[in-house]
């Protein structure tokens, strides 16, 4: 399956945060959306970085009060690993494993067009496995 098909199913909405915003704003957004990472972008299209709950937790473990007053830009990862809508879900799984990341923004013509989380990938794989199991079951029991 291609990433484009996955996005057709789950939608193209991406939660973004301005890199100039405070980390406390990013925390509020993560809680509001019930997600684990935000793409840092000033215009919602151009990717400046990505900030995940891990970045925030790591910083909180070092300095609590200070972390909340930092800007997103201070904690985000700036070299973002992205994928294209034409990539396959299998290649994305390898990308996530190799880079030890759980979120990959989807980019087309240098613009953000979606995001895939490890949860989305697991969901799709489960659906595929269920469909395969059902086909094998039908083949064995019904001979079709």
∠ CA 94-6-76, nearest 5°, is 60
Are 101 and 49 a contacting pair, CB within 8 Å? no
* Positions in 10-39 near ligand AMP (CB under 6 A): 36-37
Q: Is 52 an interacting residue with respect to ligand AMP (CB under 6 A)?
A: yes
* Positions in 105-144 near ligand AMP (CB under 6 A): none
Q: Which is nearer to ligand AMP, 16 or 52 (CB)?
A: 52
Q: How far apart (Å, rounded) are the C-alpha atoms in residues 98 and 80?
A: 14
Q: Site for ligand AMP (CB under 6 A): which residue of 23, 50, 107, 116?
A: 50
Q: Which is nearer to ligand AMP, 94 or 134 (CB)?
A: 94
Sequence-ordered list of residues with C-beta below 8 angstroms from that of 84, at least 6 positions apart, any chain: 3, 106, 107, 108
Stretch touching ligand AMP by CB under 6 A, among 7-15, 19-27, 52-60, 63-71: 52-60
Q: Site for ligand AMP (CB under 6 A): which residue of 101, 106, 116, 124?
A: 101
Are 81 and 95 a contacting pair, CB within 8 Å? yes
| Block residue for tokens 């915003």 | 21
82: three-class secondary structure by DSSP: coil
**Nearest residue (beta carbon) to ligand AMP:** 52
Binding site for ligand AMP (CB under 6 A): 36-37, 50-52, 54-55, 77, 80-81, 101-104
């Amino acid at each position: 399956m291609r990433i484009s098909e996955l996005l057709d199913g789950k939608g193209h909405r991406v939660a973004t945060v301005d890199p100039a915003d405070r980390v406390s704003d990013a925390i509020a957004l993560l809680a509001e959306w019930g997600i684990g990472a935000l793409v840092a972008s000033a215009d919602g299209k151009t990717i400046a970085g990505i900030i995940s709950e891990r970045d925030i937790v790591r910083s909180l473990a070092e300095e609590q009060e200070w972390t909340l007053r930092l800007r997103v830009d201070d904690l985000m990862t700036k070299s973002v690993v992205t994928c294209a809508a034409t990539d396959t879900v299998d290649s994305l799984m390898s990308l996530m494993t190799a880079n030890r990341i759980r979120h990959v923004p989807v980019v087309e013509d240098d613009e953000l067009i979606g995001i895939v989380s490890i949860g989305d990938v697991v969901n799709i794989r489960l659906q595929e496995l269920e469909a395969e199991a059902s086909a094998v079951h039908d083949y064995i029991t019904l001979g079709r």
